[in-house]
Structure 1
Amino acid sequence: MEEDDNPYETLDPSSSMATHMLAGAAAGIMEHTVMYPVDCVKTRMQCLVPDPKADYRSVADALRKIVRHEGVRNTVRGFSAMAIGAGPAHALYFACYEKFKHVLSGGKQGNHFAHGCAGCAATLLHDAVMNPADVVKQRMQMYGSPYQSTFLCFRDILRTEGAVAFYRSYTTQLSMNIPFQATQFIMYEIMQDYLNHDRNYDPSSHIVAGAVAGAVAAGITMPLDVCKTLLNTQEHCARTHLTYISGMASAFRTVYEFCGISGFFRGLTARVIYQMPSTAISWSVYEFFKYIISQQRKQPDDRYLSSVHIAAATASPADR
């Protein structure tokens, strides 16, 4: 079945942008909400010189220690920063992806180069909105974080480091997220070609394709994620002799100096455990909302066709 013949895949052009933005915002918020405690663990496990009280052996060990020694609330510290950024960031992300995918592929499925390019374009908008929220979120996730609220954290960073602090990791974020999102979108579309070639609404295929895409993309971009966390948190490392760690080269050098090659894969298990379900949730929620909205738009047309059929059936032979 051609993508153009599927009303679920090709929504009304006059309103599809709003549809994709609404579905994308819902997907982004749901994705980050469900997996937020694991994201907190990932941030802590990526620390170069962790506090002895926060030296975790595994994701389960980390969650157990945080809950036991710090309370359940500390697993969701910084959540409000993520919630504020995720909605608009994912709204732009999915809307841009769908638009560019349609333009570059000509509305036909199977063009994975177009899917990758569309994912790259969507990432530029997503990260521009999400990067400041990510900085605040990760500062609050760190062990022993002095910040009592999202607002106080934002204000303190702005006052002491300036607005540049919110985009210190932006180039690294893009360097990570462009290959991550390109890989994710390509893998998702490849899995959909295999599991759901006709592109019907099929929750199981959306979940499986999303999980596989998230796991592959997470593994490939893991070293960049470690560097991004270091740039966002500005972890105090005595041997760096730098006021601020700025730029990808400096971050790579610092990670290698402290931990060697293995340092670039600290928290890999946590990242994969986080990305598999979160990407599956994101895609399945997005596809669900897109399907529901497309069904609602079909109902007026169905009612109109039904009235035409009834009128034709009840018309007299002379009228016919």
Structure 2
Amino acid sequence: MKSQIVTFLIQCPDQKGLVAKITNFFFEKGFNILSCQQYVNSIENTYFMRIRLNADGTILSKKELESSFLELSTPLHFKWSVHYSDKKQQVAILVSHTSHNLYDLLERYKEGNLNCTVKMIISNHEKLKPIADMFQVPFYYIPVIANDKSKQEKQLMELLDSHQIDLIILARYMQILSADFINAYPEKIINIHHSFLPAFQGANPYLRAYERGVKLIGATAHYATEDLDEGPIIEQDVKPVTHESTPTTLKKIGADIEKLVLARAVNNHLNHQIIVSGNRAIVFPETGE
């Protein structure tokens, strides 16, 4: 029988004795600590912890564990969340015309390299339905209705909520989402942007990069917020290019970087490695789990 792994994400004002209080709590409850990662932001006097536990040997129910931890956390002013390995996150991928990120995510998913269930692919166009069919993932076509985008978003939300979607991946979904939509799923929407933000926003970024003679091509994955392309950054990467690069070669290089950056960001989220603090994402490195 597979062990139940429990992950706690904690942030609070920095203070003496935190590690001892937290680790002693889990020891006394019968948990084995698999890893304990910490970070202190000395500028903001804030402490962050990601702690992974093996639940073998403890008889506490999830409700009892969370109730007991609340008693510890309240006087210490914790903001915390807990995640259990027996619950796979349900994922929806939103796309428009561009296929490279979709192909990459679905391939990783089918190979068992994304710890989730991809429940659906949603698009405002029908072009990418054959890819969904190839990977045997349900495809939903929800077009944007002229002069009534709110109706399309309402349909989107009803579909997502009816399937209890935990994470929405914008894999080059070329629609600006409303504040109402984004605020309904806080820290649950990951977007990929075709630049090392905030440069070259908008249409035809690689032509503009070419015209500026850039020496680096990059990509950024971030949580979506009301401020377009300005949400907490999860992952970024760049690759050097030269004056010999054309818009076409820049686009190919950019697509490769996008795939890697988006996949890493999604994995970070699925593995509960991220704590959002204000507009910053604290991303703990993988520990070999």
Structure showing the higher strand proportion among its residues = 2
TM-score, normalisation: structure 2: 0.23
Q: Radius of gyration: which is bigger?
A: 1
TM-score, normalisation: structure 1: 0.21
Structure showing the higher helix proportion among its residues = 1
Larger RCO: Structure 1 or Structure 2 (Cα < 8 Å, ≥ 6 residues apart)? 1
